[in-house]
Amino acid sequence: MIRYDIRGDASWLTLDRPEKKNALHLDGWRALRDGLDRAAEDSRVAVLTGVEDVFCAGDDIALIDEAETADDVETLTDCLYDVFFGIESLDIPVIAAVNGLAYGGGCELVAACDLAVAVEDATFALPETTIGAYPPYAVERVAETVGKKRLMELALTGDPIDADRAATWGLVNRVVPAGQLAETTTQFVESIANSPRRSTRLTKQYAAVGAADPAARDRIRGAFQQIRADDECRAATKRFFER
């Protein structure tokens, strides 16, 4: 589900679940967190990407549908929290090499990364509200990147935006032709690797001051508990499986 390989100064983590558009279940999110921790030991930079023409469709919707009890919600929210906020607190920079669709948790992964390069036909969306859920990391952090009104457009409508708009909004740094994705990402890696480790680590650390808000986990968990107890939200999730 998560392929790991080292290329020069970077550890590349490739989401490899094409039959589910690289959507992640709990095991996938945990493997991603483990891979990021490994990358911090092995390399100067971590790169996240996906297989084929999809970056990540986010959570496997079964995750949301199966979160019925308080314990289920706690497990799910803790797992997501550990990945998104874990990226922010990782000792090394993390780059999203967005090779295609980035929806839901996939869009939130892009937002969590320190840098992002996207192919021209990449699209970004936060469709959680349309299936009776909500984007936990986005409502905590993404407004700081794109602005509240833009976050509300993404999160309340669920409508996708293209790569150029994502760049204008500040969600990605560069938009490139598909054939230049790896090259441009590698250029970022090489530039970062030219600087001392301590300099890059401290720069990232102080840019993320306040990221690990101890109250965030409880807010996310509480919101999920309310959603899973709501009949209308649960019905919306069920309708997703009936499409």
Tell me which residues are annotated as active site.
108, 128
Reduced to 3 states, what is the DSSP secondary structure of residue 202? helix
- Cα–Cα distance, 55 to 18 (Å, whole number): 10
Q: Which residues contact residue 71 at a Cβ distance below 8 angstroms, ignoring those fewer than 6 apart?
A: none
Are 48 and 13 within 8 A, CB to CB?
yes
User: Could you tell me the two tokens for 34?
Assistant: 């483990």
User: Could you tell me the two tokens for 223?
Assistant: 């919101």
What are phi and psi for residue 101, nearest 5 degrees? -55, 130
Q: Identify the sign of the CA torsion 209, 134, 26, 217.
A: positive
Q: Where are the alpha helices (DSSP H) in the chain?
A: 26-42, 61-66, 70-89, 105-112, 136-137, 143-146, 148-157, 163-169, 181-193, 197-207, 216-228, 231-241
User: Could you tell me the two tokens for 239?
Assistant: 């309708």
Are 53 and 163 within 8 A, CB to CB?
no
Are 112 and 90 within 8 A, CB to CB?
no
Q: Which residues contact residue 195 at a Cβ distance below 8 angstroms, ignoring those fewer than 6 apart?
A: none
